[in-house]
């Protein structure tokens, strides 16, 4: 892959809740930035131990018995495909509580760890890696999984704390991340445009049911500030997703939409700029907009 000389020295960190999230959210732009010479680091909060096996071909007793180790191996494959560095923050998956009312979360899980304790390993990692840009989930977690919401909370808190010499002085020299973004991959405009294109081509859309139940929130969709063109890397994204074989059904909805159609209809991955210590003009098409002299 050709190096983009102006990108050398830039560092990007994504904070994700589980192994596979780095491949389902922002993976094409990740692969693009790696190809341009950006150093990309993923921090994974939990091991995904309580995630469901969503690929029928992998739903076997031997897989379930070794799920922790298998998830780690899947993450290693995805990491290699994307060309990133990756660290585990070491917390235990909280699982997805089901029922009405929902049962209490399991003792010791990530979502129940006090914030000051849960953010500490991320503060350490930020100070070690010294990213210029950090991405995470919005305050709803993208979807309301307890680990996604906790991931949002520790990311926002660590973004501030890592720069403060009085916070966690034992965890390294302070570092000011310049920009904080939230992922907005599943905005309604993108889903609707993809659905309409599938119907126009005489194909069955996997989004029909979801769209019928979707509540319009124009003010939410308007929060997108940054659309990064990265359709040339949709194939790398798909390969990284498929590496998470227990989590991704190759015959499922992720792959129901032809890649060419995705590239034509919505060739970007979308983000919301939340905090910035540099000046850039909105809307943006680059997570590093306004960062001219990386340290």
The binding site for Zn(2+) consists of 18, 21, 148
CB burial class (10 A; 0-12, 13-18, 19+) of residue 196?
A: middle
Q: Rounded distance, CA 31 to CA 240, Å?
A: 10
Beta strands in the chain (DSSP E): 11-16, 39-46, 85-91, 133-136, 179-183, 226-229, 268-276
End-to-end CA distance of the chain: 24
241 C-beta neighbours (distance < 10 Å), count:
21
* 3 state DSSP class of 189: helix
* Spatial CA neighbour of 155 closest among 131, 173, 187, 171: 131
Contact of 142 with 188, CB cutoff 8 Å? no
Q: Rounded distance, CA 139 to CA 116, Å?
A: 18
Q: Rounded distance, CA 101 to CA 65, Å?
A: 29
Contact of 176 with 164, CB cutoff 8 Å? no
Question: Which residues define the annotated binding site?
Answer: 18, 21, 148
* H-only helix segments in 132-182: 146-161
* Spatial CA neighbour of 81 closest among 243, 262, 211, 260: 243
């Amino acid at each position: 892959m050709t190096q983009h000389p102006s990108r050398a020295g830039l560092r990007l960190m994504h904070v994700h809740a589980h192994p596979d999230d780095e491949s389902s959210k922002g993976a094409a732009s990740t692969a693009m930035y790696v190809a341009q010479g950006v150093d990309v680091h993923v921090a994974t909060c939990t091991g995904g131990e309580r995630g469901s096996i969503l690929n029928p071909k992998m739903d076997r007793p031997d897989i379930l018995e070794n799920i922790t180790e298998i998830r780690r191996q899947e993450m290693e494959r995805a990491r290699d495909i994307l060309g990133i560095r990756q660290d585990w923050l070491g917390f235990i998956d909280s699982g997805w509580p089901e029922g009405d009312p929902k049962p209490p979360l399991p003792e010791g899980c990530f979502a129940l760890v006090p914030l000051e304790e849960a953010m500490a390993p991320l503060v350490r990692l930020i100070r070690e890696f010294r990213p210029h840009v950090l991405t995470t989930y919005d305050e709803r977690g993208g979807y309301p999984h307890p680990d996604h919401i906790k991931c949002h909370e520790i990311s926002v808190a660590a973004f501030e704390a890592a720069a403060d010499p009085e916070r966690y002085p034992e965890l390294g020299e302070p570092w000011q991340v310049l920009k904080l973004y939230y992922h907005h991959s599943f905005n309604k405009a993108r889903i609707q445009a993809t659905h309409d294109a599938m119907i126009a081509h005489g194909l069955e859309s996997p989004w029909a049911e979801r769209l019928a139940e979707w509540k319009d929130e124009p003010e939410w969709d308007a929060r997108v500030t940054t659309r990064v063109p990265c359709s040339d890397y949709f194939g790398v994204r798909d390969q990284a997703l498929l590496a998470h074989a227990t989590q991704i059904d190759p015959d499922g909805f992720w792959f129901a939409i032809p890649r060419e159609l995705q590239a034509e209809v919505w060739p970007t991955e979308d983000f919301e700029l939340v905090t910035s210590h540099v000046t850039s003009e909105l809307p943006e098409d680059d997570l590093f907009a306004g960062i001219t002299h990386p340290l």
